[in-house]
Amino acid sequence: MAEELLGNVLVGQSGGPTAVINSSIEGVVAEALNHDCIEEIYGTLNGVLGILNEDFIDLASESQQTIRALRSTPGAALGTCRYKLKKQEDYERVLEVFKAQNIRYFFYAGGNDSQDTADKISKLAQEQGYELRVIGIPKTIDNDLPVTDHCPGYGSVIKHVATTVRQMACDHEAMGQGDLVSILEVMGRNAGWIAAGASLAKRRDHPHDPPHIILLPEVAFSAEKFIADVQRVLKREKHCFVVVGEGLIDADGNYVAAAEATDAFGHAQLGGAAEFLQGLVEANIPAVKARTAKLGIAQRAAVTNGSKTDADEAFLAGQAAVLAAINGETDKMVTLLRGEADHYTVETGLAPLADIANGVKKLPKEWINEDGISMNYQFVRFATPLIQGETAVPHENGLPVFAKLDKVRVQRQLESYEL
């Protein structure tokens, strides 16, 4: 048992929100309240920006009802950011704030870049001899974090995508006469996990169910093959349903649709793959109507189509982060480990932050059928347990009700910082 470390907790959220990232915050708060060595439980508003600005709220002062309601609230209740700590002074400022607020436990819910940031903060604390325990909490709808079996947020997004495919397919079946191509664009910068999830819309033993074509970043795009695949489907069906990941690339490794702009971490701004495919269809297949739909941020906020399994595992990851830190662990990220039994079970583990930071886990090639546009049973077996159960969302006057934190501010101890 590690030596008890007396001090305050700080938890933050970073990157794109998910339908269940707030469940992890609920898990952190619920577990932190159980330990006497934790004096205060703070949340940083807007991730590392909140740390630099010393903009913290007192999570222990929130009502237990509000904290529990985070389980069914989308977005990032603490606010998020895509800010990159750019210079050594930024990291020094983080440590100054931690010392001023006696932060001894830091939990950061985020993806690849966020885990890299947490790792660098922890290393600086060690260099300065400041005792700090840092644990990352996995979060990304893209499901592309290395080491962990899957990521909280993924189950809910593919449940929503597959549900959307089934609903749209009913419309297209009614409207199509062998002349309709519908293209649904989903997120997924470097990996096709979300697009692959659309395959769950197919009923067992109904291989011709929509989606008929799934285009993944892992399979180099060929315009000629795509047109041939569409024509083959239209000969057989009333409509052709295509799902495309935004990160689709050509044979040269270039995105088929990307803006010149990049974010703070240098990532290209994606979007437009569906319109690109629409143009190909209309230019090459006469008398065919091509329509596009883009789920955009709606797919990561769709808690009303959320997976109970996903929300429960996000809570579990938050709990596990606190327990790991209390037990003396640091520089680790919580992982989800799938059990060996036939029925689905999961437990938590830990992996070094350095093994997670900036890595990308691709969709296994062996889970993609030889046609390059559909998924096999191995993927279905992997993904189906993750979408089980429905998130219980309270409603009022017919509409969902979400948690709102009171956000009682923690008194600042330092002068303001120039970003």
Q: Hey, which residues are catalytic here?
A: 142
Is 189 one of the annotated binding-site residues?
yes
> What would the DSSP string read from start to end of 229-273?
HHHHHHHHSSEEEEEEETT-BBTTS-BSSEEEEE-TT--EEE--H
Is 292 one of the annotated binding-site residues?
no
Token digits of residue 308: 């109970």
| SS3 call for 194 | helix
CA distance 145 to 357: 8
Is 187 one of the annotated binding-site residues?
yes
Token digits of residue 337: 């480990």
Is 141 one of the annotated binding-site residues?
yes
Is 306 one of the annotated binding-site residues?
no
Name which of 13, 8, 7, 2 is nearest 137 in CA terms. Answer: 13
CA distance 329 to 135: 8
Name which of 353, 335, 320 is nearest 32 in CA terms. Answer: 320
Token digits of residue 139: 């979060």
Is 142 one of the annotated binding-site residues?
yes
CA distance 411 to 37: 21
Is 246 one of the annotated binding-site residues?
yes
Is 40 one of the annotated binding-site residues?
no
Beta bridge partners of 26: none
Is 398 one of the annotated binding-site residues?
no
CA distance 358 to 114: 9
Question: What are the backbone angles phi and psi of residue 187, rounded to the nearest 5°?
Answer: -75, 170
Q: Which residues are annotated as part of the binding site for diphosphate?
A: 16
What residue numbers does the annotated binding site cover?
A: 16, 112, 140-142, 187-189, 246
Binding-site annotation, residues for substrate: 140-142, 187-189, 246
Known binding positions for Mg(2+):
112
